[in-house]
Amino acid sequence: MADKKKTVSADDSNPLGTLVNLWPYMWPEGRFDLKMRVVWATVFLIASKFVLILVPYFFKWATDALDGKLDMVGLLPAFLLGAVALVIFYNLTRILQVGLNQLRDALFASVGQHAVRQLAYKTFVHMHQLSLRFHLERKTGGLSRIIERGTKGIETIVRFTILNTVPTLIEFLLTAVIFWWTYGFSYLAVTAFTVWAYIWFTIRASDWRIGIRRAMNDSDTDANTKAIDSLLNFETVKYFGNEEMEAKRFDSSMERYEKAATQVWTSLGWLNFGQGVIFGVGTAVIMVMSALAVRNGTQTIGDFVFVNAMLMQLSIPLNFIGFVYREIRQGLTDIEEMFDLLQVRPEVVDKDDARPLVIAQGAITFKDVHFSYDPERPILKGVSFEVPAGKTVAVVGPSGAGKSTISRLLYRFYDIQSGSITIDGQEVRDVTQQSLRAAIGMVPQDTVLFNDTVAYNIRYGRPDASEADIEQAAEVAQIANFIRELPQGYKTMVGERGLKLSGGEKQRVAIARTVLKAPPILILDEATSALDTTTEHEIQSALDVVSKNRTTLVIAHRLSTVVGADEIIVLKGGEIAERGTHAQLLEHDGLYASMWNRQREATEAEEHLRQVRESDDIGIIVRKPPAN
């Protein structure tokens, strides 16, 4: 199983370490333009904080001017000494401060979105680097929701940490210095205690809410997984009439999400109420102190207004500190699973000295190959065989014998436990995965197409192919006439997973894109086992054309498709039970002959039934229900 690399994650008690890991997204390497945007955005934000400090001063001066107690001659320009002018400049500074903030947001928008793009891209690439085992064990719907929440969480963290935390601390310091310098240590002490109590309560309450948020996320992921899984299996749901059962499964997850989401909002209400009480008590204490000072004549009404205005302004960064902490913590929770994904090591990796595969002839050799998905359940037990260059070798056997495992090992979706797999004498574990897979073409049993056009799915074999190349590949795959009859031809959409096409049509598309890839080695992994006999013969003729002069490995269930193979390998229980040509194996009268006879009888029965159904004399046989 894939192991995990231990690094800083969202659930560790060191959020600073996590933020350090996020620094590359805040300060993107090689993007001087984005770095300058960060610098200028920070400059404008700090400037807005200094402008913000002037706002309550203008309010104080305007109040004292209206009260006739403004004594600022020599300190303010003459044109600012009037109450009306002070009121105007009070509002102008507010407008300037808002403008600076908006300019900051505009400058930083591209930085935040670039960070989201970087992380999303890194995660997407990493998902394709992980092993087949990982993807078989995970659920696509859950993965998509984890990535969606994680990218949003990274945007929140990047934006708040780089643009708001430090400037907010600067505003706290400016407020504290002004209170201490102007009104004395007692005002500073009350303010500092209020801020401390507010932040302490916010952190404790937010940490409590993290568990609730995680439960909500788990329920959300589970509901999304069930929804996507059900929709991907739409036809199966309809076959068994289980719409109500699917709806109940989905609703049970949504019920858990409803409860958790309700708790999230309820806990938020208590958090906001507690913050309001703490700040309200602190404000009341300072306002009473100022009111007593005004009554004693040591302060003016303007001072009373100034203290109130400063406290109101202080409440904004205080609320914001609480909001920032909650968002960062919740953002870390949201990207926790994404970090776990990024920490999963690929099970199959290139060696440091891996070199590109060089195809001379394309001969494949399996030598004493042992492999198991689970140590307690071996799949292949010392399998050895060779596929000579340009020849066709088929691997057959009962279900569970290990046939499809051979194709997965050749593609290096998994690494073997012992033995060797070579192509032209080159061990597949010693070459790069990209060059290995570029040399092999696959026509699988279950062809899954992208929800795009027919042309896109054929061109997938060689993305730089021209329209003429695509049409030629379609001709070889014997699907060109069908495509031309479609309303939009090669631009016709095939639907989710190719569901708008029949099984035979999807197989022909798979053959066409393999033809377009033009690989020296070809794997046919039960490419016709899911098709009817007539369609099988049509597809087989196209496969014969494609496999001509190519090293071909055929994984087969229907033995009629491998009669012409140069050699047939019969697997049983992960070991080679028989090998030889079709004629030799029939003469041997062993496992292969037994399988051949059973399939021939089944095919003859199927053919007889088809003839009966097509008979004009007998017509369609309808089985009536038994009488009550």
Which structural domains are found in the chain, ordered by start?
15-343 (1.20.1560.10), 364-439+519-614 (3.40.50.300)
Instruction: Kindly report, residue by residue over 159-168, the tens digit of the pLDDT.
Output: 676 666 667 7
pLDDT digits (tens, 9 = 90+) for 304-330: 887 888 888 777 777 766 667 767 766
Residue 419, pLDDT score: 92
Residue 356 — pLDDT band, cuts 50, 70, 90? Answer: very high
> Could you tell me which residues come within 8 angstroms of residue 75 by beta carbon, excluding any fewer than 6 positions away?
none
Confidence of residue 409 (pLDDT cuts 50, 70, 90): very high
**With 70 as the cut, is the pLDDT of residue 527 above it?**
no
Q: What is the model's pLDDT at position 606? A: 66
The answer for residues whose C-beta is within 8 angstroms of residue 74's C-beta and 6 or more apart is: none
CB 154 within 8 A of CB 111: no
Q: Is the pLDDT of residue 92 over 80?
A: yes
The more confidently predicted of residues 164 and 450 is: 450
Backbone angles phi, psi at 427, to 5 degrees: -60, 130
Q: What is the pLDDT of residue 428?
A: 93
In terms of pLDDT, which residue wins out, 175 or 586? 586
Per-residue pLDDT reduced to its tens digit, 369-395: 999 888 888 889 999 999 999 999 999
pLDDT band at 97 (very low <50, low <70, confident <90, very high): confident
Which residue in this structure is represented by tokens 């109940």? 248
Q: Report the pLDDT averaged over residues 467-487.
A: 87
Percent of residues, the chain, with pLDDT higher than 90: 11
Left, alpha or beta for 254 (phi > 0: left; psi -120 to 50: alpha)? Answer: alpha
* pLDDT for 36 beyond 60: yes
Q: Which two tokens stand for residue 440?
A: 């092999």
Question: Regarding predicted confidence, which is higher, 160 or 519?
Answer: 519
Provide the pLDDT for residue 8. 36
Residue 376, classed as helix, strand or coil, is coil
CA–CA dist 196, 192 (Å, integer): 6
Q: Which residue is listed with tokens 């708001």?
A: 164
- Residue 272, pLDDT > 90, answer no
**Is residue 365 scored above 90 in pLDDT?**
yes
- Tell me which residue of 500, 559, 498, 497 sits closest to 526, measured CA to CA: 559
- Check residue 421 and give its pLDDT: 93
Is the pLDDT score of 266 beyond 70?
yes
